[in-house]
Each structure stands twice: as structure tokens, then as C-alpha cells.
Amino acid sequence: MYADLYAQFYQDVIESFNDYMAVKDQTPIGKKDDIRKGMDAARSLYHFGEFYADYFNRDFALDVKKYLISKCADYLTLEAVANASKHSKLTRGKPQLSSSKKISEIIATVIFEDEQGKYNHNEKIVQLTLEDGSKRDLDDILTNVINMWYEVLYNDKILPRQLYYSSNKNKKVSRKEAKKVNVEITVQGDYSFGFEFRKYDDETGNVVKLVGEKIVNFDIPHPETSEVLKATITFSNYEHHHMLQLKTHAEKELYYNEVIRKKGFVATGSGIRYKFPPR
């Protein structure tokens, strides 16, 4: 399929990695494009290890896999992601991620502050809930593994120079650069995503989590006609700021329901349902 290991790394591994990073900025949340592209990248970055082993006539399971994990612990996490994306549920051994249901999309709202005050930057994240209860951003895992490959292939003289992918995760986004995330749902059936609030710490230069995520469910088909909903929801900076100022969960829930009603949705016992206009 590929002329050599160098060609495969660039034409498959790097391309799939770049495709995932690009879709984060190009499409709204709600189509599961991020999960699809993220799983493609996870499989490419992980299974490249098998081609690497073949190229050097080494055993992947007994030799190369252990070597790669010693270079980057997230290669083991990536194995579980790649396998869960193919098999839905993992039952052998003790994988760090046991089910594809523990791979979800969230909107992360990062709060920044400048001389004018606070402002929000929103971004899409594919988040993993690991078996120990911790949550990891897929971006971080893919970034760590791609940089491991850059180092390994350079040391093996496959790459002519050492490369490094620098994530913008902890970059301070200016007020002008701050983005919103639209929600666009075009599939039938239930769809859910999470909200998570984070803050940029000026002292450490890192983004830290503030509160837990809130899951929102959407019922897509019209109850009578099965008409498919294509909805776009934009959460304003004011709405985010106001909710963050509320102290109790009940106050936040009440305000959130008020906001979604204004946007054409109503709260139900199982989540949120779109209010179709009368015919």
C-alpha cells in the first residue's frame, strides 16, 4: 500500500492526525465528525507500531509495544481507544478504556481575563472517561503519541530531522481570537454532548478545569412526522458568564432551562426536546 515506512508515516499517520485537528475548527458539534476523525487518528497512530515492528523485523507484541509504551505511556491508552472504536466493548485484560460509550464530545468553555474583564473561548473536545474515573482529552493523547513517533523515527534515521507538534491548548486566546461553538444536529436518534468550564491561569500559563460537565440530550425526529431536525444553538458570552456567577446547582439548572426555552427548546425529564413549530 505504501512505498516504505517513511511514506506510510506521512501519508497515513500524519494525514489522519492533521484531519482530526482540522475538523475541530471547521465544523460544529453535533455531527460526531470529531469522534469519527479522532478514532481514525487513534487507529493510525496505534497500528503504525505494527508496521514499524515489521520494518525492523521485530515482534510487536513481545518487543516493540513495550518499547513504545516506555517512550510514551499514552501509547497504552491509545491502544484502548483504538480497540474500543472497533469493538464497542473490551472484555479482555484490564484496558484503560473499556467501551466506546465512554468516548464523548464536549464543549469546553475557557474563561480568560484581560484589562476589559472576563471573556469566553469555546472549543470542541473529544473526551475519554477512563476506568479509574479520570477524564482525558483525546487531543492530549494524540499529541503525546505523535511526538513520540517523531522522536523514535528520527532516532532510527527514518525522518531526516526531529519534528515536534506543539499544542495550543494552554495558549492564551485573545478576546479577538475567542470563538463560539455552534450545535448542529442532522442525525436521527438521541444525541448527547457535555459542557465543561475551564479557566486560564495567568500565573501558571495553563488551562484548568472549574466545574464538572453537564450532559444535554437531544431528541431529533419529529414525534408525528419523523422529520429530521437540523438545529443550531449558540451560547452567548453573557449567558456563560451569568451562569458561572450562580452559586447553587438548582440556580444554574433554572437559568439554563430558561435560556434553552428562549432558543426553542424545552426541558424534559430525560433532557431537552426541540419545540417544533405548529403546522
CA-to-CA separations, 209 to 111, 205, 213, in angstroms, rounded = 10, 13, 10
Contact predicate 95/86, CB 8 Å: no
Residue 86 pLDDT exceeds 70: yes
Query: What is the distance, to the nearest Å, from the Cα of residue 157 to the centroid of all Cα atoms in its chain?
Result: 32
Kindly state the average pLDDT of the residues 152-169. Answer: 91
Picking from 104-113, 116-125, 237-246, 251-260, which range would have the lowest pLDDT averaged per residue?
237-246
For residue 235, pLDDT beyond 80: no
Rounded to an integer, the average pLDDT of 92-99 is 77
pLDDT, position 9: 96
What's the average model confidence in pLDDT over 115-131? 87
Question: Mean pLDDT over all residues of the chain?
Answer: 79
Torsion sign (Cα): 239, 240, 245, 250: positive
Higher-confidence residue of 219 and 126: namely: 126
pLDDT value for 119: 85
| 170, pLDDT greater than 90 | no
Grid look-up 458561572 returns: 244
SS3 89: strand
Q: In the numeric block, which cell numbers belong to residue 34? A: 470529531
- The β-bridge relationship of strands 271-274 and 265-268 is antiparallel
Residue 56, phi then psi, degrees to nearest 5: -100, 10
Distance CA 30, CA 181 (A): 10
Range ranked top by mean pLDDT from 41-55, 106-120, 255-269: 41-55
Asked if pLDDT for residue 229 goes beyond 60, the answer is: no
Q: Please state, in angstroms and rounded to a whole number, the distance separating the CA atoms of residues 196 and 212.
A: 6
How buried is residue 193: exposed, middle or buried, by Cβ count under 10 Å (0-12/13-18/19+)?
A: buried
Residue 19 clears pLDDT 90, i.e. is over it: yes
Q: What is the pTM of this model?
A: 0.73
Q: What is the dihedral of CA 27, 30, 35, 37, to 10 degrees?
A: -30
